[in-house]
Each structure stands twice: as C-alpha cells, then as structure tokens.
Amino acid sequence: MVAGGTAPAVRPVTWRTWIEPWFLSYALLGASVAGMAPILLPLSVRMGGSATDIGLVMGAFNLGGLSAPAWGRIADHHGLHRVLLLTGLLGTAFSLAVFPSVSSLSVRLLLALAQGAGAASAATVANLFIVEIRPRSEWDERIGWLQTFYGGGQVLGLLLAGLLSGSDLHFGFIIAAGITLSACLPVFFIKRIRRSVPVPRPVLNHPSRHAGLTALSPQSLYHHVNFEALVSQVRSLVLPFGIFLFGWFMSYGGVAAFFSLFPVLMKQVYGVDPSTGSIAFAAAATAGLFLYAPAGTLSRKYGALAVFRWALVIRILAFLALLTIGFANNGAGGVLAIISFGFVVMAWSILSVTGTQITAQFSEEHEGEGLGLFNASTGLAGFLGAVIGGWSAGMWGYKVVPALGVGGVAVGMLMSGKVKPPASKPEEKEKG
C-alpha cells in the first residue's frame, strides 16, 4: 500500500506485453529472404539459364545459412550483436538489388551466397536479444511472438512476390532490397548487449514458425554445432538420434528439391503462373501458422514420434499426387496441384514442432548440441536438395522433381520407423 491507502496500478499482461519494436526487423527480413527471394531468384535465373542453374543458385542461397556458427561466435566473443544485424541486413539488401542486373552464373552464385550469409548474420543473433536481456520467465512468450512475426513476414513476402512476379522482375528485387533496408530502422530500439566472457547458450526448444521453404529463420540459426562438445558426447548422439537425423536430412532434402524450383516448376508442369502459385503458397503458409498449437497438443497425446510419422505420410501422399498429376495432365491440373502442394506446406507445422521435440529428447542431456546438429543438417539438406533438384530437372525435366520429394520423405519415414519413441522429459527441467 502507498500513502493514502491506494495500491499501485498493475499493468495488465496482454499480447502487447511481449512484443518489442525491433521484432519488425525480423518480420521485414522474413518478407524478403523467406518470402520474396525464393520466388524471385528462380524466376530471374530461368530467364537466361537452365534448371541446373536455378538449383545451383538456390543451393548457394541455402549454403549461406551454414555460416551461422561463425556469426554466432563473433557475437558471443565480441558483443557485436547489433553490428551483425545491421551488416547482415545491408549485405542482403545490396545483393538483392544487384542480382537482376548481372547475367554471369558465377557472379549470381556469389550474390545468392551473400544473400544467405547476410540473412544468417542478421537472424543468428535474434534470440540473443531476448535471452541476454530479458528474464527467463519471459523467453517463451517473446520468442514465440518473434517467430510469429518472422512467419507473418514470410506470408507478406509471398503475397508481394505473387503480385510482382508478373511484372518486371527488376522492380521486384528492388522492392525486396528496400524492405530489407527498411529493417535497419527498428534495430536502434534494441538494447546493446555488452558481454566479454561467452556463456553457454540456454536450450530453446521452440519450433521454427515458417513454411519450411528456407532454413534462415532466427530459431533455426540459434543453436550451433559445437564440435568440441560433440566429441565428448558422441556416443549419446549416435543411436537412435543418428538414425532419426539421417531420416530428417533425406526428407528435408527431397522437399527442398521441389521448393527450390517452385515458381518455375509450377508453371512448366501444372500451368500455374508464378503469381497464382505464390499467392496459393501464402495461403497455405498462413493456414500452417494456426497448426502449431494443435501439433503440440497431438504430440502430448500420442507422442511426438508418432505424430511426426503422420506428417510424413501426408507429405508422401501429397508428392505422389503431384507426381501423378504432372505425368497425367501434360501441363494442366493446376487446381489439384495447388491443393496437393498446400498439404506439403501445412505439414511443415507438424514436422517443425515434432522434429524439434524429438531432437531434444533423443539428444538426452546435450540438447543444445543436438539442436545444433538438427539445424545444420537442415541447412545442408536444403543446399544439396536444391542442387540435386536443379540437376535432375535439367537432365529429365521438371516432372521428375516430385519423385525426389516422394523418395526423400519415404526414406525419412523408413528411418523414423526404425527408432523407438524417446522417453519424455520433465518440462520444468531447466537447461543452462
């Protein structure tokens, strides 16, 4: 009580409590690198290149994400969090703006690599702005909203890409670069992190709330592979986690082959123009944002591994439908293809939740390193899937690419069937 007998007013806790102005930076980053770039890059390369060229460019884009451990180490040792965010955004914006003006494949590969590395530099410090500044009791809500902003930005980017893909692609790239550049402004609302002695990163088991098109989201880049720590615990990470991780790698790689060629493939095989395809993608991604909570509920009821397998079955059936439609309709069947692809996208919400849970459970007492391996395998699978997808389309045509999705996801299904559900862990157990 205060003088006069009146208690101080307590500010009610609402969703606004957990949102900070700088979250807008990551919404804009999601719009450009997770929404617009994966649509605009293949379309631009296709104008003067082959399917193989598209795969190489998208592979380079994904490869840039594997630079995350380097950026994370710099941030941890030198406290350059805001510098890395700003330079990453500026580098990505520059690479996007220049890309449509060059025709050399080697230069385009370097620019795509720079886009991925710049996005990784910006995204890898995102969660640190929360865990290094805010109390532990606020992490879950704030990180959840950060991921929601990134996923919402991806949806916005897909819609913009759909609207701009039918016009001059140069203008689309300039818009994407401008969006990335504008993401620099909210950075100045972030408190500066001063730390000279690195400390172990806490384990954050939040799934990545985006459509699975890119592995460049903040949550995917938070846990890094620490090879020194892995050596000391390699036995606990071999089985059954190694089997599961191999299945995840194959499954994600097969799907990445399709995603990397998406706008061109949908036009060539199903007669769906890039504008319609991007908007349909955005609709499926939006629906997927509402499936994260049900996925968690189902995992608690039936077990994460069982629900994970269900999601893989959905993807196998969807890719089988895409493969059948492609060979049966000869450039038609667009509506059925869009519906089938929608199931591929929405299944990601279930796979992201359950895959993260299974990794944390299988890696026992070393969740941080386990999640680092999980994220690294995702990025490497995205790179190899894009390259193999482009090469396959160049050799045998775009119609064969859904077969890579079928094969990759089928291997993932078989591998997941060879492991037993891991024992559940107490949720209240804290990691440091």
Residue 348's CATH number: 1.20.1250.20
Q: How far apart are CA 383 and CA 66, in angstroms?
A: 9
Q: Is residue 8 part of a domain?
A: no
Q: Is residue 424 part of a domain?
A: no
pLDDT of residue 429: 43
pLDDT of residue 228: 65
pLDDT of residue 431: 43
Q: Is residue 430 part of a domain?
A: no
pTM of the prediction? 0.89
Domains held by the chain: number: 1
Q: Is residue 144 part of a domain?
A: yes
Q: Is residue 347 part of a domain?
A: yes
Would you write out the chain's pLDDT as a tens digit for each of its 432 residues? Answer: 455 555 555 556 666 677 888 999 999 999 999 999 999 999 999 988 899 999 999 999 999 988 888 888 888 788 888 889 999 999 999 999 999 999 999 999 999 999 999 999 998 888 888 888 888 888 888 888 898 899 999 999 999 999 988 778 999 999 999 999 999 999 888 877 766 556 667 888 788 877 777 768 888 888 877 666 566 556 656 678 888 989 999 999 999 999 999 999 999 999 999 999 999 999 999 999 899 889 989 998 999 999 999 999 999 999 999 999 999 877 678 999 999 999 999 999 999 999 988 888 877 666 777 788 888 888 899 999 999 999 999 999 999 999 999 999 999 999 988 887 665 554 444 444
Q: Is residue 308 part of a domain?
A: yes
- What token pair was written down for 220? 């995917």
Q: Is residue 425 part of a domain?
A: no
Domain hosting residue 392, numbered range: 18-190+204-223+232-416
Q: Is residue 156 part of a domain?
A: yes
